[in-house]
Amino acid sequence: MQFNTQLPIAIGADHAGVEYKDATVQWLKEKGFEVLDFGTHGSSSVDYPDFAHPTALAVEEGRAAFGILYCGSANGVAITANKHQGVRAALCWQKEVAELARQHNNANVICMPARFVALPYALQMLELFMNTAFEGGRHANRVGKIGCA
């Protein structure tokens, strides 16, 4: 794993992604990871920022190694998470995108669209994301220019 394994993993989802979130939490715990589950915890309609903000904040404050967010398209949670300084949330729908998000962008939050990828594929993307290192080099300068503060 390329993240700090001493820290828990933050996760959140709206109603469209709650089943994927719950399955991912179980998958992570079976692998021995501690998880900060910011909800939602049911299928009733909710507002995705209510779950994306606390997930991103845990990453921003260094309380989580990285974050995982699910919603229907993953656009809403990605936009929300990227409002946090130091968070680089990547919308991932293919394994190659998840890998490049880590290698080139040093992404620390993976956002996956529950309505457009199968759960087994989402877990494959997550595993690849978790095990891919940031390449640094020419990419470090670019990543360093992302923040506004």
b vs e for 112-132, b when ≥16 Cβ sit within 10 Å of the residue's Cβ? bbbeebeeeebbebbebbbeb
Query: From residue 3, how far is each of 9, 31, 64, 95 by CA, in Å?
Result: 10, 15, 10, 18
From 41, 53, 92, 104, the catalytic residue = 104
Which residue in 15, 53, 71, 111 is the catalytic one?
Answer: 71
104 is catalytic: yes
Where on the phi/psi map is residue 106: left (φ > 0), alpha (ψ -120 to 50), or beta? left
| Catalytic residue status for 15 | no
Q: Is 68 helix (H, G, I), strand (E, B) or coil?
A: strand
Q: Which candidate, 18, 61, 60, 16, places its Cα nearest to that of 38?
A: 18
- Catalytic site positions: 71, 104
